A and B are shown apart, each in its own frame.
Chain A
């Protein structure tokens, strides 16, 4: 029987969004509408939130727009 290597999608669950943002110290900014998509600059809400990533020690976020998600790569 062939065993396959895994391709992992690392994810968090939508109902835990606020908890996640609180752990990263970003909840207040999110509630005040101050977080925006790194790629298109759109204001991030619960509905359009796509992903979190970091670059050179800074945390960034992307909206769920396919164009922005596509730019995230791996």
Chain B
């Protein structure tokens, strides 16, 4: 029985036996317990309507809206790769009575703008949250300019339903950063292109997440170079022209990955892909991302996975069919991760 069916049964029972006000109350409690982000979203809509009534309600709206927007996006992003953002955002208010205690504890206390300037709050709060919360242990091993670029693209992804916040974020945060860091703009463009193909969370950050295994070792230049090398390989793959050949492999001390694009030229024939994977296994590779664009290639990719899983002793770690951009066109895309089975 699914969770939805359980809810349906409880709901039918409640309606039959309890008065409507009690039913509404119970439903809100259930929403709060089982879907806290949805509850917060509904609460923020109610508070928004009432914000003008008093400063206290405006303040509650600011916190509820920020928390629900950021946490809802984090939850969605976690569907593709878990633990990218292991923390949920919470706005903790201080007032004139409690502020001194927080300052004594060495806390930084930021000023949140009034409810009618919420896009600005969202832009700055998202940046702060992502800077601290995205891959908390592994992020220190990502080359610093690349890390800023990933943070910025991730922030834009979180705020994409609020164009005003993205505008403020671009003007007030990205522009000064790019002026200060030569090379950042190029890296943001690169990460943006990887992201619209859906590979940022499904491949790149999933690979970077593995770097937490070396925590608490101090980051070094060779780790930074690996993160840049992996990103450049992935970017060459998403930016390549139709007949251009790109080596879809990155082999480093910490990061090893092989991308297997199932593309039109081999339609109907999985042998070249199977041979390629078998060769890489012989060379020591153990993880393979199978990617495809368009319905036909996706079917072939699924068939390939079905065929090679047993033959090559692989296991399917995840698969995802989603909508994204391929050579400027929105279409169905596919990404799956296969891993060598432990003997």
Tell yes or no: B318 within 8 A of A by CB.
Answer: no
Q: Are A11 and B107 in contact (CB under 8 A)?
A: no
3 tightest Cβ-Cβ pairs between the two chains A and B: A7-B87, A23-B96, A6-B90
Q: How many residues of B contact A (CB 8 A)?
A: 44
Q: Are B109 and A53 in contact (CB under 8 A)?
A: yes
**Chain A residues in 8 Å Cβ range of B89:** 6-7, 9
**Chain A residues in 8 Å Cβ range of B114:** 13-15
User: Which of B18-26, B125-133, B209-217, B322-330 contacts the other chain?
Assistant: B125-133
**Chain B 92-133 interface mask (CB, 8 Å, partner A; 1/0):** 111111011011101111111110010000001101110011
Q: Which among B58, B62, B96, B107 is the interface contact of A10 at CB below 8 angstroms?
A: B107
CB<8 Å pairs between A and B, sample of 8: A4-B87, A9-B91, A14-B113, A20-B95, A23-B97, A54-B104, A64-B111, A65-B176
Q: Are A8 and B176 in contact (CB under 8 A)?
A: no
CB distance from B57 to the nearest CB of A (A): 11
Cα A51 to Cα B133 in complex, Å, equals 20
Tell yes or no: A16 within 8 A of B by CB.
Answer: yes
Q: Are A16 and B96 in contact (CB under 8 A)?
A: yes
**Chain A 39-69 interface mask (CB, 8 Å, partner B; 1/0):** 0000000000111111100010000111101
Cα A23 to Cα B94 in complex, Å, equals 12
16 extra interface residue pairs, beta carbon distance < 8 Å, beyond A6-B90, A54-B104: A5-B86, A7-B129, A7-B133, A9-B90, A10-B94, A11-B111, A12-B94, A13-B111, A13-B112, A14-B114, A15-B55, A53-B109, A55-B106, A59-B103, A64-B124, A67-B180
Cα A72 to Cα B103 in complex, Å, equals 13
**Chain A residues in 8 Å Cβ range of B177:** 66
Cα A52 to Cα B112 in complex, Å, equals 12
Given that A4-B86, A5-B87, A6-B88 are known contacts, is A11 also in contact with B103, CB under 8 Å in the complex?
no
